[in-house]
Chains A and B, each alone.
Chain A
């Protein structure tokens, strides 16, 4: 079974530029998550999709971050404009709903450096 795919793996940009990350979840997984992992911290949920609908985006900085999952499969996360504090690893995960007992499977992440 193929895992969660993410691209690019690394990205370096200057502050105020924009950047986009792509995620392809495990086939058949209806739930998709984007996490931000700052160095020295655990992953923090940014947004959760159930199919193509948003379940939780309470921790997404909506003034600069946006995410979409138009066809209920792939997803993109965008930052515009980027700030220095956005430097982090952006993780995508997916799961198959099971009455709240689902396990999340993570992709390799995109390491973003904002200069």
Chain B
């Protein structure tokens, strides 16, 4: 069965630290890849997405993600986090013969000032 793995369930960082959240998926073929973010008390929002082309994708608020097909990975990065980045981050994948969006379990990020 298709699955999406997010390696870290909880991450705690200080402001200005660099961030990398891992995401791996289990199936090959053409995939669409997404990172969603849920800030405290708010709904899920799209952070960035990859459909095709340049595997390095830039999203909102200085986030970027790199699609590495050979590793089935789509890791999220930010060079310098802010307190306002405190949120839960979800990786999601669509494809591999399945026409539905499969979410990872999420990573809770806490940024301390």
Residues of A within 8 A of B (CB): 3-4, 33, 40-45, 48, 55-56, 91, 93, 100-101, 103-109
Contacts and interface: CB of A to CB of B under 8 A. Distances in A.
A103 B43 contact: no
Given A91-B44, A103-B49, A105-B46, A45 B100 contact: yes
**Size bin of chain B's contact surface:** 20 to 34
Contact of B34 (A33, A55, A103, A108): A103
13 contacts: A42-B4, A42-B106, A43-B44, A43-B103, A44-B103, A45-B100, A45-B101, A91-B43, A100-B94, A101-B51, A103-B46, A106-B43, A106-B45
Contacts of A101: 32, 51
Contacts, number: 46
A44 B100 CA distance: 10
Interface in B61-113: 90, 92, 94-95, 99-101, 103-106
A21 to B, nearest CB: 14
A74 to B, nearest CB: 18
Contact of B105 (A40, A55, A106): A40
A91 B106 CA distance: 15
Contacts of A105: 46
Given A33-B101, A103-B34, 20 more contacts: A3-B43, A40-B106, A41-B105, A42-B92, A42-B103, A42-B104, A43-B44, A45-B100, A56-B100, A91-B44, A100-B94, A100-B95, A101-B51, A104-B101, A105-B46, A106-B36, A106-B43, A106-B44, A106-B45, A109-B43
B99 A100 contact: yes
B106 A56 contact: no
Contact of A56 (B34, B36, B94, B99): B99
Contacts of A55: 99
A110 to B, nearest CB: 11
A106 B90 CA distance: 13
B77 to A, nearest CB: 20
Contacts of A4: 43
